[in-house]
Structure 1
Amino acid sequence: MTELVLREREFLADGVLGLTLERPLGEPLPAWEPGAHIDLVLAPGLERQYSLCGDPADRTAWRIAVLREEDGRGGSAFVHERLGAGDKVEVRGPRNHFALRPAHRYRFIAGGIGITPILPMLAAAEAAGAEWTLLYGGRTRASMAFTEELRRYGDRVTLAPQDETGLLDLPSVLDDLPDGTLVYCCGPGPLLDAVEAATPAGVLHVERFQAKEQQADQDTEFEVVLAQSGRTLTVPPGVSVLDSVRAAGVEVLYSCTEGTCGTCETDVVEGTPDHRDSVLTEAERAAGDTMLICVSRCRGKRLVLDL
């Protein structure tokens, strides 16, 4: 965990607050790549994940943007109302489960605050000489952050405020994708679901701010063996692996407890996980080498974890 200082705060759009964080003495921050996020530890039991949206080459500061959610769980309200310039905040990370993979061409799709991880991806794609476009939607033009920064990219960026253009025209972006194209999308759940339904397998990469609804099997009891100590725990129905491990006195890192941040990702030594997260790719799920123990369970009677 790192203690940072809030150097600057500014409103980027209606309800969207931009924060610039730095070390107290100006020391260089850890390196990161487009798609990375950090955890803000705002108060005991109040941690939230935010995508880094600045320049990865700038090691002096990290930039994030926080949408105030009126019906949220208190994290965004805390940031908007209680964090001021000069305040110190504990930060974990960065971590990256949404990394930009090399490709000849990209189709970027962002909805609302989902523009934050996409923004540094555009600069990286541009620097790599890739062909790319961005379709960026929001409720209104005034609610869409970074529109001025995006002007420099010209007609490769399509702004589509819903009150002006209706729902995003996904077929215009996703129909007849050329070979070698990767699709990156971040935004609200319904947008991600629609993009997933319209995109061929193997080309889509998404990041969810809220957990995807899972059609999971009914919970059953199973055993978890902790490989580092040899202890065996029983995980009953309705109790997560994370809660069972913590109740046994084993300290593990965790944050969202919803399967969206990746903090609790744990190596699987033996057994088959029942993946219920919104982070791992289909290939990672099929490999079964890791699992997010805050939500995922076991497709059998026994798991051996590297804990």
Structure 2
Amino acid sequence: MTTTTGAFTARKLGEFEGTLTVSCRTEASDGVVALELTPDDGTQLPAWEPGAHIDLVLGPRLVRQYSLCGDPGDRSRWRIGVLREPQSRGGSEYVHDRLMEGEQVQVRGPRNSFALKEADGYVFIAGGIGITPILPMVARAESSGVPWRLLYGGRTRNSMAFLDELEAYGDTVTVRPEDEFGLLDLATELRDAAPGTKIYCCGPGPLLDAVERASAHWAPDALNVERFKPLALAPGGAFTVELARSNLELNVPPERSILEVVNEAGIDVISSCESGICGTCITNVLEGTPDHKDDILSAGEREAGTCMTICVSRSLSPKLVLDL
């Protein structure tokens, strides 16, 4: 993400958009597969930072985001971990059942909306498959010599991925399977607000909500979270969008998103999750007041009102002028 004075330059897809091959597939835990994706021609992949994710384009309307969980210094391959979701919408089922070693898959990215910021110390909290973006963050904190600790929870020990890799960090990592210890003791873990320390948390919604409550007394910018699913959205009314570069004015009814209306008008906006959690469709706002419904923009970006996710967000003003 880059910013300019008075405006926001929307997050763009990374340098890569093409086909990668599954060069290695392993069982990271019960229900989680780890895939290594490599280019057939041996070229280097784009650089990435902890917290980044890529899109797997699995079909015409089937695009899913997965966090990169390998070594950012190794540009010969990208690694992801994928949980088989019991109520899969098609993505995890496709990965588990069809992406075997030697198979090829379309990939876009990387992008990063969960970047690791500099801090005097870190508290990492992961729930289940939420360990994937945290793994390279832990490695970065360790190599930089900054104090850190990780609290990692899951349903059972066998369901928790990458435990073998985390063993190398010793007591700095606390592993708490729910069937052995119950729910994570967040009140104790986050009781003392440490100045200059940032919290990074990824996992299911109830865990993130609990971390938000337990860290309410920390500094306003201390907590950084990444959600698997969007927050519940309230319906909005109808409004108009003007596409400044396309010289179009479109009506957005209550039951449709800006993204749907814009794409239907022939303006191709790249999108992925369509639920306000990936950042692919972030668009600059030239006039009007967005009604932010996403779970990705920062408080400062929302207050500035110079960008919005057009897949879920709406308008507080009768009209929005977008840089499209």
User: Common fold, TM-score beyond 0.5?
Assistant: yes
**AA paired with 1:210?**
K
2:39 corresponds to 1:23: yes
User: Which of 183, 189, 208 in structure 1 is aligned with 2:227?
Assistant: 208
Question: 1:24: how far off?
Answer: 1.2
2:267 corresponds to 1:236: no
Tell me the equivalent position of 2:150: 134
Kindly report which structure 2 residues correspond to 1:256-275, keeping only aligned pairs within 5 A, or say none: 256-275=273-292
Tell me the equivalent position of 1:39: 55
**AA paired with 1:243?**
E
Residue 284 of structure 1 aligns to a residue in which SS? helix
User: Which of 84, 88, 92 in structure 1 is aligned with 2:100?
Assistant: 84
2:72 corresponds to 1:56: yes
**AA paired with 1:127?**
S
User: Which of 158, 165, 179 in structure 2 is aligned with 1:163?
Assistant: 179
**AA paired with 2:309?**
L
CA distance in 1, matches of 2:178, 2:146: 29
Kindly report which structure 2 residues correspond to 1:71-220, keeping only aligned pairs within 5 A, or say none: 71-199=87-215, 200=218, 201-214=220-233, 216=234, 218-220=235-237
Instruction: Determine what percentage of the aligned residue pairs are the same residue.
Output: 59
Q: Please, what TM-score do these two structures have when normalized by structure 1?
A: 0.97
Tell me the equivalent position of 1:223: 240
Residue 109 of structure 1 aligns to a residue in which SS? strand
Deviates more, 1:83-92 or 1:195-204: 195-204
Tell me the equivalent position of 1:12: 28
Runs of 4 or more above 6 Å deviation: none
- Cα RMSD for the two superposed structures: 0.9
Residue 33 of structure 1 aligns to a residue in which SS? coil
**AA paired with 2:222?**
V
Tell me the equivalent position of 2:296: 279
Residue 262 of structure 2 aligns to a residue in which SS? helix
**AA paired with 2:21?**
V
Residue 155 of structure 1 aligns to a residue in which SS? helix
Deviations 1:160-217 (A, max 9, x none): 0000000001012211121001000000010011111222322110001111123x3x
2:304 corresponds to 1:304: no
CA distance in 1, matches of 2:230, 2:27: 27
**AA paired with 2:182?**
G
- Aligned residue pair count: 305
Structure 1 residue runs without a partner (length 5+): none
Structure 2 residue runs without a partner (length 5+): 1-16
